[in-house]
């Protein structure tokens, strides 16, 4: 998929995305020459089609987690199917990340089947950006930045 | 209308980066399988011929000879391999190497959707919008199979067995997903119905370039548990007919033994422990798979 700025005859760059949580997605592309912006809006089925490939529109910013597609897409996963206790954060940044109470509460609402993996993704996101406290606002931003539909 | 360059006329890569990400997925899969000496697909095309039972017992027979064996249940919607290999339902450990397979019979390493679903009777359901879900579900199933291959910490394996669901399309999908398939075992029975369906799979396997391809005739006869007398279960002999017509080689003919089948159902595939007609058939099949994989002589493998 390429977005071409017709006036400039220049391929537009992916610049941002928004995942409001209703299955839709907005991806913003910008022309590097004239600055024109175009938003690609997908309906839930189109968003799902892309998600089903295990890819993120605009690319990934953190490494993929083992069985990320399966864990995020299976509807009736067993709560204790995975033991994430031994899974370290993939980020080597020496930052101790804490979770605010309301962020922990929100994390607890994530099904156990995928919770350990989601926690690791948010922790990696925070470390790589020098964020030492994960709040719901950080989680929202991470979800959008990373294209984490369904997390 | 103003002339607009077409996709291929624009030289730069797509900014959605989708092909790049898919390419990286495949590179990850290839890296993972680099530590696997032989990948075998166990397929049929036909349902109900005993693919999973053959896979489980072949895994046991190979593991019983000291080989390091992985067993991947590619039947996402009807998984039974984990049960047949007696894999426990302890949580699969996740670490920086990936998801670790469950230990199964004879030390085989097992991954199956059965280990991930909430209950024994829970069907596999995917999230996402229900409308037109058939459009994207096959992509998800392929993605899950890719993750079962690439994201599982299989470790060093001598043989990885893939137990495919029915359907010739599944064979094509798996064959194209895996960069270097060692060979294909096609399971059939003596029935005419199985012969005609497996013939399609055989043709597809040839078209895909699979080599070697071994036919396994399952449930050819009934072995009496008392006296060992073997009696044909079918009047037809579709498996041998298929072999004769196609030129494919019949690698094993496995009689049906209720006690053996019950042991497999209970997660104790006995192919590595039995010396009767069924055990001998699986022994021959294991020997052939080892030879075709270039793993022999077996003594060297056992010592490694």
DSSP string, B209-223: T--SEEEEEEEEEEE
- B chain contacts of residue A115, beta-carbon cutoff 8 Å: none
Chain B residues with beta carbon closer than 8 angstroms to that of A88: 95-96
Beta pairing class for A82-83 and B92-95: parallel
A30-44, A112-126, B120-134, B289-303: which has the minimum mean pLDDT? B289-303
Confidence of residue B254 (pLDDT cuts 50, 70, 90): very high
pLDDT for B135: 84
pLDDT of residue A61: 64
CA Rg, chain B, in Å?
21
Q: Is the pLDDT of residue B226 over 80?
A: no
Whole-number pLDDT of residue B107: 93
Chain A residue nearest residue B142, CA to CA? A53
pLDDT for the residue numbered B300? 44
Q: Are B147 and A88 an interchain contact pair (Cβ–Cβ within 8 Å)?
A: no
Q: For residue B201, is pLDDT > 90?
A: yes
pLDDT attached to residue B303? 38
Give the rounded distance of the alpha carbon of B248 from its chain centre.
19
**The predicted structure's pLDDT at residue B35:** 95
- Contacts across the A-B interface (CB distance below 8 Å): 163
Given A27, A59, A82, which is nearest B91 (Cβ)?
A: A82
The partner residue sitting opposite B14, judged by closest CB among A2, A52, A84, is: A2
Asked if A3 and A12 touch (Cβ cutoff 8 Å), the reply is yes
**For B153, nearest residue in chain A (alpha carbons):** A66
Cβ A69–B140 below 8 Å, yes or no? yes
Residues of B in contact with A44 (CB under 8 A): 128-129, 131
Q: Which helix (H) or strand (E) holds B239?
A: helix B238-246
In this prediction, the residues of chain A whose per-residue pLDDT falls under 70 are 59-62, 86-94, 149-151
Give the C-alpha separation, B86 to B248, whole Å. 33
Model confidence, pTM? 0.89
Between B258 and B100, residue with greater pLDDT: B100
For residue B299, is pLDDT > 70?
Answer: no
Range among A108-117, B16-25, B131-140, B208-217 with highest mean pLDDT value? B208-217
B302: confidence class by pLDDT, cuts 50, 70, 90:
very low
Q: Which of B93, B118, B129 sits opposite A23 (nearest CB)?
A: B129
Q: Kindly state the average pLDDT of the residues B35-62.
A: 96
A130: which DSSP letter?
T
Whether residue B12 is predicted with pLDDT greater than 80 in this model: the reply is: no
The Cα of A1 is separated from the nearest Cα of chain B by a number of Å equal to 5
pLDDT of B147 strictly over 90:
yes
Report the complex ipTM.
0.90
pLDDT at position B233, please? 87
Compute the average pLDDT of residues B187-203: 94
Confidence of residue B304 (pLDDT cuts 50, 70, 90): very low
Cβ atoms of B70 and B154 within 8 Å: the answer is yes
Q: When comparing pLDDT for B205 and A53, which is higher?
A: B205
Residue B76 phi, psi (nearest 5): -70, -30
Q: Is residue B105 a contact partner of residue B60, using CB atoms and an 8 Å limit?
A: yes
In chain B, the largest separation of any two C-alpha atoms, in whole Å, equals: 85
Per-residue pLDDT at A23: 86
- Which tokens sit at A110? 């994530």
Chain A contacts of B15, Cβ < 8 Å? 1-3, 11-14, 29, 58
At residue B134 the predicted structure's pLDDT band, cuts being 50, 70 and 90, is confident
């Amino acid at each position: 998929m390429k977005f071409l700025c017709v006036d400039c005859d220049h391929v537009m760059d992916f610049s941002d995305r928004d995942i409001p949580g209703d299955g839709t997605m907005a991806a913003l592309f910008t022309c590097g020459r004239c600055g024109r912006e175009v938003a690609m809006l997908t309906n839930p089925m189109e968003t799902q089609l892309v998600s089903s490939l295990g890819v993120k529109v605009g690319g990934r910013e953190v490494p993929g987690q083992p069985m990320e597609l399966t864990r995020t897409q299976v509807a009736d996963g067993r709560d204790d199917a995975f033991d994430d206790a031994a899974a370290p954060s993939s980020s080597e940044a020496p930052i101790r990340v804490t979770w605010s109470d309301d962020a922990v509460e929100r994390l607890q609402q994530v099904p156990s089947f995928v919770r350990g993996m989601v926690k690791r993704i948010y922790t990696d996101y925070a470390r790589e950006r020098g964020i030492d406290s994960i709040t719901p606002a950080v989680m929202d931003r991470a979800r959008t930045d990373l294209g984490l539909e369904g997390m | 209308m103003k002339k607009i360059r077409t996709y291929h006329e624009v030289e730069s890569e797509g900014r959605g980066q989708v092909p790049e990400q898919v390419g990286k997925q495949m590179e990850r899969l290839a890296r993972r399988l680099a530590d696997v000496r032989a990948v075998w697909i166990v397929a049929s095309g036909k349902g109900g011929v005993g693919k999973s039972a053959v896979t489980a017992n072949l895994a046991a027979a190979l593991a019983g000879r000291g080989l390091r064996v992985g067993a991947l249940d590619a039947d996402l919607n009807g998984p039974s391999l984990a049960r047949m290999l007696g894999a426990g339902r302890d949580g699969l450990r996740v670490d920086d190497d990936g998801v670790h397979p469950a230990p199964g019979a004879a030390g085989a390493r097992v991954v199956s959707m059965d280990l991930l679903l909430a209950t024994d009777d829970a069907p596999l359901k995917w999230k996402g919008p229900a409308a037109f879900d058939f459009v994207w579900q096959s992509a998800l199933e392929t993605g899950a199979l890719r993750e079962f291959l690439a994201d599982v910490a299989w470790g060093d394996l001598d043989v990885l067995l893939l137990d495919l669901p029915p359907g010739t399309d599944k064979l094509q999908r798996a064959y194209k997903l895996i960069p270097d398939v060692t060979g294909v075992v096609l399971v059939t029975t003596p029935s005419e119905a199985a012969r005609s369906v497996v013939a399609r799979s055989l043709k597809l396997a040839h078209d895909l370039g699979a080599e070697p391809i071994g036919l396994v005739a399952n449930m050819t006869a009934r072995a009496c548990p008392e006296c060992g007398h073997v009696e044909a279960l079918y009047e037809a002999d579709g498996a041998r007919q298929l072999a004769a017509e196609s030129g494919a080689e019949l690698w094993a003919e496995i009689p049906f033994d209720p006690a053996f089948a019950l042991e497999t159902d209970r997660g104790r595939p006995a192919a590595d422990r039995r010396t009767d007609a069924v055990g001998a058939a699986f022994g021959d099949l294991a020997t052939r798979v080892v030879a075709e994989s270039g793993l022999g002589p077996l003594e060297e493998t056992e010592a490694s």
